[in-house]
Amino acid sequence: MDKIFPIFANETNRKTMYNSKIIGLGYYVPDNIVTNADLIKVMDTTDEWIQERTGIQERRWVIEGSGDTSATMGAKAARIAIEKAGLTTKDIDFLIFATLSPDYYFPGCGVMVQDLLEMNTIGALDIRNQCSGFVYGISVADQFIKTGMYKNILVIGAEYHSGGLELNDRGRNVSVIFGDGAGAAVLSRTEEKGKGILSTHLHSEGAHAKELIVEGPNITHWVDDIMKENNPDDVSYYPFMNGQFVFKHAVVRFSEAIIEGLQANGLQSTDIDMLIPHQANLRISQFVQHKFRLTDDKVHNNIQKFGNTTAASIPIALTEALEEGKIKEGDLVVLAAFGSGFTWGSVIIRW
């Protein structure tokens, strides 16, 4: 057997395993700032009510006719990340695009970015894991790079929420939360040990899928059915969130994902130099920060000015933290997300 399959007989013949590291980051948000005062004009709410429950003061929303979509915003963020990485679009071997608000039902935004950036005919993968989309994307990219399949992978998280929100009293609990924007990261191969992505950890619990959902249109309740019914009370095509239920699960799963990642690498919470949580709700981030006894300088939040940008929130916040000098070489950086699905996960990085 050794003569027929020599590759299995010699340990040194096995393919080299690499590490992956983030070498470029970028983000883009629309210029249009929508404050809590602006929302008061179209729904029965107050600045105090919004800030007390979410921590949000303002968010960015696309202006109709501006040309901004999930794909075009993702492409803008990607150009910045690729430039920061010192690469060109032709150097990218694979593309991963995470969003819950694609330009079309199909095809996905990945192929649109491939075209917008005039890339080679590389593979483009679309991920639909909502708030956890970027963490899932990083995990997939990490595995492709570790096995040597690709060298440079672009991971994008982008959302165009504002076009699908119910801007009235009925939809206010959800509509005040979400913002538009995009973030991107370039992951590249490295043979440096103990640096880059140390581990990723992914989970899901579909039993609670309908606690945070856009239910229609779907294959059994398609657009023509909704139009024929002409039912003003049909809110299936607007986001629904059982806020208290989601909050209770989020604080548990955030913590579990972080602990799992730390334990997998023989680390403790005191080793964390920077935590970048998905910007779902400032109260959730503060709860997790308190649980792990992290000081303010070890957690980066920007939901106050951008709202919840779902798959884009972590790459936007990570880019900001790096640009503000909050992340230095050798720092332990933790990314953690929880969202619809339910899905959640963490990424442990030695910068």
pLDDT at residue number 276: 98
- The residue from 163, 190, 217 where one domain ends is 190
Q: Residue 6 falls within a domain, yes or no?
A: no
Q: What does the alpha-carbon distance between residue 6 and residue 11 come to, in Å, rounded to a whole number?
A: 10
One domain, residues 135 and 177: yes
Q: Residue 273 falls within a domain, yes or no?
A: yes
pTM of the model: 0.93
Tens digit of each residue's pLDDT (9 = 90 or more) over 76-120: 999 999 999 999 999 999 999 999 999 999 999 999 999 999 999
Cβ-contact 115, 121 below 8 angstroms: no
Q: Would you give the DSSP letter of residue 17?
A: P
Quickly tell me which residue has 């959302």 as its tokens. Answer: 159
Q: What does the alpha-carbon distance between residue 163 and residue 175 come to, in Å, rounded to a whole number?
A: 11
Q: Residue 3 falls within a domain, yes or no?
A: no
Active site residue 19: no
Q: How confident is the model at residue 227 (pLDDT cuts 50, 70, 90)?
A: low
Alpha carbon separation from 332 to 271, 274, 323, 349 (Å, rounded): 7, 7, 16, 6
Alpha carbon separation from 341 to 100, 128, 132 (Å, rounded): 11, 10, 9
- The residue from 136, 159, 190 where one domain ends is 190
Q: Residue 291 falls within a domain, yes or no?
A: yes
Residue 85's CB: how many other CB atoms inside 10 A?
22
Higher pLDDT, 229 or 313: 313
Catalytic residue among 109, 131, 152, 201: 131
Taking 70 as the threshold, does the pLDDT of residue 134 lie above it?
A: yes
Active site residue 131: yes
pLDDT at residue number 8: 38
Taking 80 as the threshold, does the pLDDT of residue 5 lie above it?
A: no
Instruction: Calculate mean pLDDT across residues 326-351.
Output: 97
Active site residue 278: yes
Rg (CA), the chain: 21
One domain, residues 330 and 213: yes
One domain, residues 223 and 315: yes
Structural domain total, the chain: 2
One domain, residues 89 and 236: no
Mean pLDDT of the chain: 93
Q: What does the alpha-carbon distance between residue 53 and residue 51 come to, in Å, rounded to a whole number?
A: 6
One domain, residues 105 and 78: yes
Range of the domain at 25: 13-190
Taking 60 as the threshold, does the pLDDT of residue 7 lie above it?
A: no
One domain, residues 128 and 214: no
Taking 50 as the threshold, does the pLDDT of residue 43 lie above it?
A: yes
Catalytic residue among 201, 249, 278, 300: 278
Provide the 3-class DSSP secondary structure of residue 171.
Answer: coil
One domain, residues 206 and 184: no
Q: What does the alpha-carbon distance between residue 54 and residue 255 come to, in Å, rounded to a whole number?
A: 19
